[in-house]
Amino acid sequence: MRQDRKRLLEHLQDSGLIQVVKSDKSKQGFDRVDVSSQMQVFERNVTLTEQALKILDAAAPEKTGLLSSFKGRREIDPDEIGEIASKAKKVIEICTRITELDKKRADNAAEQIRIKTRLAQLETWQKLDIPLNTTATKSTAVFIGSFPAQYTEQRLGEALAAENPKLEFELEIEHSEPGMTCAVIFVPASQKTMAEDALRALSFARPMSPTSKVPKVKTEKLKEKSRRLAEESARASEEIASYTEHRESIKSTQDYFRIRTDKYNVINHLDHSRHVFVIEGYVPEEDCEKLETLCNRVSTCHVSFGDAGEDAPVKLKNSKFAKPAQNILTMYASPGPDDLDPTPVLAFFFYFFFGMMFSDAGYGLLMVIAIGIVLKVFKPDERMRNNLKLFQYCGVSTTLWGLVFGSIFGDAPAALYNAFTGSNVVMAHSISNMGDPTPALLPWPIIDPQKDALTLMIISIAFGLVHILVGMGCKFVVCFKKKDYAGAFFDTGLWMLMLMGFAVLAAGMIASPVLITVGAVIAIASAVGLVLTQGRGKKGFGKVIGGLASLYDITSYVSDLLSYSRLLALGLTTGVMAQVFNMLSTMMGTNVLGIVFLVVIFLMGHAINIGLNALGAYVHTMRLQYVEMFSKFYEGGGKEFEPFSLNSKYIKIQEDK
């Protein structure tokens, strides 16, 4: 019922269950309600509050801590919205006053520039005791102006006489410097034309802004005006700063008008008749019952559901483990109608590869603990929370890989132990050097990226192969779901078999000659299958050519596999940089000065290492997902589910328990 519109829309906006479909034309028998004028008022108020906050922040910056950006929106009671609405008019008046004061300051600043320019022009005329706009007396023509050259009175007189020997004049130099001479010339009124011709020949120019006052008097008046404008601007700044106590009210009011703008934007696109109105939109299937219950509870209405179709928006739903990686996926593209949701696979490999690249147990523990504290103390919003949880899981992976590589702030425990005891210990023995008699702090064998680089390279390529095969497996499933069985088995399955054949063959070179034979048979059989099937869409001899040409794609897979060498490179970089900073920090010995030096270099060095290599691990891990895996199966192109909700920036309404 139309009479329930306001109440129903408010509840739908609170719930965030439905994405409203907005069409440009109404259906037959219905009309549209034009609320554009109200929307413009709300949008103008949002803009006004944004300007006021910006001005306030410049005049009196908000005191925030280093971690304040993690803080979530302020929670308010649902009843508080009514209180915000009742105070909105007063807050808008305050914002209007703030912008007026800022405009006054801007106008004064512009006027100060003009005064400064005018004072600079008058500076050369301070000795002049008549107004600059004087042009004549009863019997005399007066010329006040400048020449583009430096003259003395004698030289200027000679120049004028040379131009016209009959000219009678008196002159006075007011100012002279290289490239300019300011002067006053008096001639009989009867010789005014002669004087103008002579002066024009010497490029004489009158002042740009002649004043009716004596220059010295005018200068004092301008300085007084400048002081007055400065005082006005200072008072305006003080008054602006006095409104800082209303900062939170302005933020809340801005969100209030932003919410109302969204609601009226929806009203603009709804079909209305005299007694009813119609809402169409998308709702996740799991929320259908909840939506119907809400609508029937707050209004007299009829609710019906139908198939969303292929154009439906996408709402991702994942476990706590995978959900933090959803932001990484949507940065690339939301899944299309034929795609799988790759978030679980993306999450696992993102955490795995990030940890392998960052690979330090000390850094990983710092990430886990610091993010845990931030989540507990600041209670950030969902999106920020997911981003933080992403890096917390990456921190867990980093810790585990750091223990595999034997890296805890590099070799900090061993370096500090050796520096303070004079002993010779190592962090742990690498798998290639188990017979080393040197005492080790860690009891298990490690993969040392420096000593076992070849082994780690092989492991990195192996992980890369698994990653690519998983991507191809996703493509296989997508083709199977679309009933493209030929594409699943011939275009994807045969390539997977060939890559696995090469993997078995490579393993046989290390483990057993039997595996070489098995791998070669699998690879050759797969290659024959590709030659026979990849040209199936062509005719005649093109089938053979297409099949043979498809084998060239093996170079692309080799290139993709080599990209995973970055797992070794970044893991090695993190460890080596950490060891270098540990070595530098212990160079000054263990005396008082040396310990101070140790603490400073240790903290600064590892902070730099964390910043550089965490960024590198993040970027290169995303590259491996986007370029190496997604290219095998993911098309994207989906539209993200954008529910009609409280789109606020500073406040959020407490959930109904």
Q: CB-hemisphere CA count at 13 Å for 614? A: 18
429 and 342 together in one domain: yes
- Closest C-alpha among 604, 549, 541, 552 to residue 578: 604
- CA 507 – CA 503 distance, rounded (Å): 6
pLDDT exceeds 80 at position 339: yes
- Closest C-alpha among 2, 22, 532 to residue 313: 22
Write down the pLDDT at residue 537. Answer: 67
CA distances from 424 to 428, 441, 443, 553 (A): 12, 11, 16, 52
367 and 421 together in one domain: yes
- CA 456 – CA 448 distance, rounded (Å): 8
Provide the residue type at 480 as one letter.
F
Q: How many CB atoms lie within 10 A of CB 174?
A: 17
Residue 385 CA, distance from chain mean position = 17
Q: Based on the structure, what is the number of domains in the chain?
A: 4
Mean pLDDT of 220-249: 94
pLDDT per residue as tens digits for the range 526-580? 888 888 887 776 765 566 677 777 788 888 888 999 999 999 999 999 999 999 9
Which two three-digit tokens encode residue 212? 């009716």
Is residue 573 one of the residues assigned to a domain? yes
Is residue 74 one of the residues assigned to a domain? no
553 and 612 together in one domain: no
- Give residue 341's region: left, alpha or beta (phi > 0; psi -120 to 50): beta
pLDDT per residue as tens digits for the range 270-322? 999 999 999 999 999 999 999 999 999 999 999 999 998 888 999 999 999 99
The fraction of the chain above a pLDDT of 70, given in percent, is 97
557 and 575 together in one domain: no
- Closest C-alpha among 608, 342, 617 to residue 467: 342
| Cβ within 8 Å of residue 538, ≥6 positions away | 545, 546
Average pLDDT, the chain: 91
Strand pairing class (19-20; 74-76): unpaired
518 and 557 together in one domain: yes
CA distances from 247 to 95, 243, 575, 649 (A): 10, 7, 47, 14
pLDDT exceeds 70 at position 170: yes
Q: Could you tell me which residues are beta bridge partners of residue 186?
A: 142, 170
Is residue 57 one of the residues assigned to a domain? no
Is residue 414 one of the residues assigned to a domain? yes
Backbone angles phi, psi at 34, to 5 degrees: -85, 110
Is residue 541 one of the residues assigned to a domain? yes
Backbone angles phi, psi at 639, to 5 degrees: -105, 125
178 and 295 together in one domain: no
User: How buried is residue 421: exposed, middle or buried, by Cβ count under 10 Å (0-12/13-18/19+)?
Assistant: exposed
Strand pairing class (180-188; 170-177): antiparallel
- Closest C-alpha among 456, 454, 448, 458 to residue 579: 448
Mean pLDDT of 346-362: 96
- CA 85 – CA 258 distance, rounded (Å): 12
377 and 347 together in one domain: yes
The residue range of the domain holding 511 is 454-562
280 and 334 together in one domain: no
Instruction: Compute the CA torsion angle 103, 106, 110, 111 (nearest 10 deg).
Output: 60
Q: How many CB atoms lie within 10 A of CB 617?
A: 26
Write down the pLDDT at residue 657. Answer: 41
Q: Tell me the whole-structure pTM to 2 decimals.
A: 0.82
376 and 334 together in one domain: yes
308 and 331 together in one domain: no
Query: Which of 507, 532, 562 is a domain's end point?
Result: 562
pLDDT exceeds 50 at position 356: yes
Which two three-digit tokens encode residue 194? 């002669």
Q: CB-hemisphere CA count at 13 Å for 339? A: 23
Is residue 56 one of the residues assigned to a domain? no
By mean pLDDT, which of 126-135, 490-499, 545-554, 615-624 is the weakest? 545-554
- CA 589 – CA 595 distance, rounded (Å): 7
Total residue count of the chain as it appears in this document: 657
pLDDT exceeds 90 at position 337: no
- CA 241 – CA 235 distance, rounded (Å): 10
Provide the residue type at 374 as one letter.
V
* DSSP letter for each residue of 613-626: HHHHHHHHHHHIII
Write down the pLDDT at residue 277. Answer: 93
pLDDT per residue as tens digits for the range 103-114? 999 999 999 999
Mean pLDDT of 508-518: 85
506 and 615 together in one domain: no
Query: Which of 313, 348, 378 is a domain's end point?
Result: 313
418 and 489 together in one domain: no
Which two three-digit tokens encode residue 487? 């594409």
Strand pairing class (74-76; 651-653): parallel
Query: Which of 532, 562, 592 is a domain's end point?
Result: 562
Q: DSSP letter for 489, please.
A: I
Mean pLDDT of 33-46: 93
Q: DSSP letter for 174, please.
A: E
Query: Domain of 177: which CATH number?
Result: 3.30.70.2750
User: How buried is residue 444: exposed, middle or buried, by Cβ count under 10 Å (0-12/13-18/19+)?
Assistant: exposed
- CA 172 – CA 508 distance, rounded (Å): 105
Is residue 642 one of the residues assigned to a domain? no
Write down the pLDDT at residue 542. Answer: 62
Is residue 250 one of the residues assigned to a domain? no
Write down the pLDDT at residue 25. Answer: 85
Write down the pLDDT at residue 310. Answer: 82
- Comparison of pLDDT for 444 and 548, the residue scoring more: 444
- Comparison of pLDDT for 77 and 58, the residue scoring more: 58
Write down the pLDDT at residue 656. Answer: 56
- Closest C-alpha among 272, 131, 310, 142 to residue 212: 131
Which two three-digit tokens encode residue 462? 């192996």
